[in-house]
Amino acid sequence: MAVDIGKYKMKITFDSNTEVNSNLQFEYLPDPVIKATKPAELKSISSGGTTFNVIGEGFNAIDSLTVGVEDSEVRDSTCRILTQTKLECKYPRNGESEKRRKKRATRSNIVIYLDGFSYEFASSVLYVNDPLFAAFNDNTTYNFDPSAEESIKLVGKGLTTVTKHNDYRVSVGSKECIITNLTDSELICRPPFMEPSARLNEDKLFIRVCVGNMRRTVGIIEYRSQTPITTIVIVVLSVLIIVALGLLVAVLIHKRTHDRKTRMIVNITKEMQHLKRDTKSSTTN
């Protein structure tokens, strides 16, 4: 039953016969208005998870925002409100079977659900195969020397068909490998200079690529022996302490020598004064 927009006084009923009047009011707002998407032509990898924007009005009072493929009960993709007129949504996974997807690119209609309101986008989504990555370093452990090289190169296919630089995340162990260049067949990233720790419950540094909902482990990296930072700090501190002690000893020796010379001069001066008095006394007598 359609309800006119506006504010309504709330009445609470318990056990179908006890009514409680409340001063609270419930407000019905107009349904959201969907005007466009950015980009206008929707494209996604089959795994979904990359983002697109929805332009419209009335997005400020929505609690549940999901996206799903038409005629599917699965709504595994979400949206977030950027402004009252703009949403950022994730593409849902392709609903077609993997066998059919491998034969050709497919199109699917998708629907956005905003609380009780739903809207089918005018433009269907073109789904293409997920990016493919070859096994890194022929599937053997790669010996990485950060003092001699800055980046590693991952080779693949279809890396930029519908995805871009900002869609990708690459990690080495528990740290990020910063992407510096991306083409349709290569992804170059810069691992951390200092060896990162492995992920929880893992004993190796796996190289992982994430794009949308796709997750791939493409190889293993091993850092060449590096002097631990704690050792470097200890060595530097030790050198500084030795230098400081050397300076302190030099100052003490200099002070001691200076004091000795001062005492000698004082003693010689006193002896000369005594000698002068003795000489003067002898002359007088």
CATH number at residue 91: 2.60.40.10
| Domain annotation covers residue 192 | yes
Question: Does residue 206 sit in helix, strand or coil?
Answer: strand
pLDDT tens track for 25-76:
777 788 899 999 999 999 999 999 999 999 999 998 899 999 999 888 888 8
| Angle at CA of residue 85, ends 36 and 75, nearest 5° | 70
Quick: pLDDT tens for 227-279. Answer: 556 566 777 788 888 888 878 877 778 777 777 767 777 677 766 666 666 66
Domain limits for position 218: 132-223
Residue 16 lies in a domain: no
C-alpha 236/C-alpha 258 separation (Å) is 33
Tell me if 23 is assigned to some domain. no
109 and 35 belong to one structural domain: yes
Residue 245 within any structural domain of the chain: no
pTM over 0.85: no
Q: Do 144 and 105 reside in the same domain of the chain?
A: no
- What pairing do the DSSP bridges indicate for beta strands 77-83 and 86-90? antiparallel
